[in-house]
Structure 1
Amino acid sequence: MKKKLLCMLVVVLSLFMVACGSKGDTKSNDGSKSDGDSTSDSDNVSNDSKDKEITVAGIVFQEDQFMKLLQMGYQAAGKEYDAKVLVSNTNNDQAKEVELINTYTSQKIDGIAISPLNETSSIQALKTANDKGLAIAVCNTALNDSDFIVGGFTSDNYLLGKQTGLVAAEFIKNHYEEGEEVRVAILQFKSQLPDLSTQRSNGFIDQIKDIPGVVVVADQDAWLQDKAVQAAGDIITAQESQGGVDIIWGANDGGTIGSVMAVKNAGKEGEVFVFGTDAAEQQLSMLRNEDNVLQAVTGQDPYMIGYKTMEVLLKDILGEDTGVDRGNSMVVPGIVLDRNDKEGLDEFASELENHK
């Protein structure tokens, strides 16, 4: 009897030990161990990370067609990568730029794509944001100290001015007698973005300065359209007694459009000719207009600049290969729009339509 009880006790103890062992680790068919629960804490964290919506900011610095197309590029890339894009405008206010960057930093968003106001003074706020975990990408400029950015896209500003200058040089040679005085006025944005403005201006002037008779009679700042209308109008009036103005070059969107409007306001169609920088629907319309005022512009590709800048930001946040070396800005080529190149104008119009 005792022997039977002892045997039964051994069996019960054995079953108890097997039950305890099966409650912890189990073996798969291939003999490897796995936890009893189907998902681990690390799996849950990974899934949460994948499901989390990416939120980024897309910042521009003024209200014009160029910046609107830049924003459209930001938003298109955000849509492509299923990210929420918060667009904002600093309106040429350095203090507001810092405030926006600080606000986005405190909100702990994932990153910022920005067209900064200044190559130097914008850096500190962006560095601080980066130090606190935000990825930073820049466009429309190259920062002086940019090791912290994931990358960026911009135009070659000297080349933008040069390409328009080459068309202007050909125009001068064909339109004026050799050695005839050709009086040129410049509208730029030195007090806003000195490096960019100077590069564009030098690019343009270098192509025409050695043509006999060419002289620059005015060089002023006026980058917003309404200011440019006033500035160009004042130059036309002031130079009237000195021999007038033959050509006005605008360094940006507002300067170019404002100059065309000033020429028309003064009734100088056919006497004063405008060349410029940046291209959108309004410049396209002016190039097609039979008033013959706007002759050529070199347009950047703001939509593509905005798209690629946001794309490199999002790829970095997602841990993907950006294709851009950290700290570097890639050049997006510009395009020359000449009123005499009807096919080129039509192609540009088609591109604009595709971006709507």
Structure 2
Amino acid sequence: MKFTKKALILATLTAVSLSSAACSNAKPAADSVKPTASAQAKAPEKKTDLVVAGVVFQEDQFMKLLSLGYQDAAKAAGVKVLTGNTANDQGKEAELVNTYISQKVNGIAISPLNQDSSFAILKKADEAGVKIALTNTALTNASFAVGGYTSDNKNIGEITGKAAAQYIKEKLDGKAKIAVLQFKSQLPQQSADRVNGFLDEVKKVNPNVEVVADQDAWIQDKAVSVTGDILTAHPDINIIWSANEGGTIGATMAVKNAGKAGKVAVFGTDASDQLISMLKDKDNILQAITGQNPYDIGYKAMDLLIKGLKGEDISANKGKTNIIDGILLSRTNPDGIAKFEADLKAKMGK
């Protein structure tokens, strides 16, 4: 077949066109692809958002401050925090922890209800990959915990006991009939430590004291009722000591209700707005309390938990419970009360 000159030129141009089209459709080698600077800037970073939980077990100012500590530590670290309250119910504690496990939270800072019976559910959480930090109550053999913070319960009792011992020596000639309000059916070891610390110090200075009543009453309303019954059954009581906030408030109110201001002195544990007001009240019923530092306990425990979750070395705290010291607040030291009250209001945001 013969081609004319014109046909030959046309064929050549067609071949060149097809070749160019084939090259434009071909995929370049993977190693030759380089994203632009703007594309690199827009590329999403790999990020894991941490979620933690802070758990308390009742509604009082101590627990509110503990929870505030949790929340402020998480906020400072830029971490989302959930809060929960087990309402003094062991079943609810297990249910709440199971919920957090199913929600896949990264860690839980918790005030356990019981140093022994709370162990199983918190161990389960740890085995599910949820890290645990402890507050307020140290678990028995909790080597899995990242660490924790609490008060020394015996020392809390001892601090108030020393103040009561001095009062009994100076005001009652070293003799007293004492009523004790505690919470042994709720937290037996913690309650016993506080009671023993208090009584050890009182009897060390005043051997002629007698405990004539010892009952559980850690919620304010119940403490009013229980104390009222004790005062009726033992009209010669002149000292009442309570192991916690609710019991101290209730005991003070009951003494006032019974018209025994000036005849019965109350000593107690924990510090709150209401207790501070009672310490400053002219009725002269509440004499001294040992305040804890629940805000710092919660803050430090949550901070430790988050540091561990972020990969910092916290191994020195593994399975250990650090002690936050308590502080004596006495109506004999109004300046100390004022300083503590100002700090408390600042933490509560008032």
Give the alignment's TM-score, normalised by structure 2: 0.87
* Contact residue 165 and residue 203 of structure 2 kept, 8 A: no
Separation of aligned partners in 2, 1:54 and 1:284: 38
CA apart distance, 1:343: 1.0
- Offset from partner CA, 1:58-100 (integer Å, 9 cap, x none): 1111111110111111111111011111111111000000000
Q: What pairs up with 1:4-153 in 2 under 5 angstroms?
A: 23-25=29-31, 36=34, 47-49=45-47, 52-153=48-149
Structure 1 pair 323–294 and aligned structure 2 pair: CA distance change class (3 A)? farther
Structure 1 pair 184–73 and aligned structure 2 pair: CA distance change class (3 A)? same
Structure 1 pair 165–267 and aligned structure 2 pair: CA distance change class (3 A)? same
Partner of 2:260: 268
Partner of 2:214: 219
The letter for the 2-side match of 1:47 is E
1:277 counterpart = 2:272: no
CA apart distance, 1:302: 0.6
The letter for the 2-side match of 1:76 is D
Give the secondary structure class of the aligned counterpart of 1:160: helix
CA apart distance, 1:47: 2.8
* Contact residue 23 and residue 36 of structure 1 kept, 8 A: no
Partner of 2:6: none
Choose which of 323, 329, 333 in structure 1 pairs with 2:321. Answer: 329
The letter for the 2-side match of 1:202 is N
Partner of 1:237: 232
* Contact residue 329 and residue 336 of structure 2 kept, 8 A: yes
Structure 1 pair 102–165 and aligned structure 2 pair: CA distance change class (3 A)? same
The letter for the 1-side match of 2:91 is A
Partner of 2:190: 196
CA apart distance, 1:321: 3.2
The letter for the 1-side match of 2:200 is D
Partner of 1:251: 243
Partner of 1:296: 288
* Contact residue 158 and residue 197 of structure 2 kept, 8 A: yes
Structure 1 pair 194–46 and aligned structure 2 pair: CA distance change class (3 A)? farther
- Offset from partner CA, 1:37-70 (integer Å, 9 cap, x none): 579xxxx999322xx4321111111111110111
Give the secondary structure class of the aligned counterpart of 1:117: coil
Structure 1 pair 108–214 and aligned structure 2 pair: CA distance change class (3 A)? same
- Offset from partner CA, 1:191-214 (integer Å, 9 cap, x none): 000000000000000011241421
User: Looking at CA atoms only, which structure, 1 or 2, has the larger radius of gyration?
Assistant: 2
The letter for the 1-side match of 2:306 is L
Separation of aligned partners in 1, 2:249 and 2:43: 53
Partner of 1:13: none
Structure 1 pair 203–113 and aligned structure 2 pair: CA distance change class (3 A)? same
The letter for the 1-side match of 2:218 is W
Separation of aligned partners in 2, 1:204 and 1:212: 13
Unaligned runs of 5+ in 2: 1-22
Partner of 2:169: 173
Structure 1 pair 305–38 and aligned structure 2 pair: CA distance change class (3 A)? farther
Unaligned runs of 5+ in 1: 1-15, 27-34
The letter for the 1-side match of 2:114 is N
Structure 1 pair 81–271 and aligned structure 2 pair: CA distance change class (3 A)? same
- Offset from partner CA, 1:263-318 (integer Å, 9 cap, x none): 01101000000001101111111111111000001111011111111111111111
Partner of 1:209: 203
The letter for the 1-side match of 2:101 is T
Separation of aligned partners in 2, 1:75 and 1:217: 43
Aligned residues with identical type, % of pairs: 53
Give the secondary structure class of the aligned counterpart of 2:268: strand
- Offset from partner CA, 1:137-174 (integer Å, 9 cap, x none): 01001110211111100000000000000011111111
RMSD: 2.2
Partner of 1:340: 332
* Contact residue 233 and residue 266 of structure 1 kept, 8 A: yes
* Contact residue 178 and residue 213 of structure 2 kept, 8 A: yes
Matched positions, count: 321
1:319 counterpart = 2:311: yes
CA apart distance, 1:24: 4.5
Separation of aligned partners in 2, 1:192 and 1:265: 27
Partner of 1:351: 343
Separation of aligned partners in 2, 1:46 and 1:245: 71
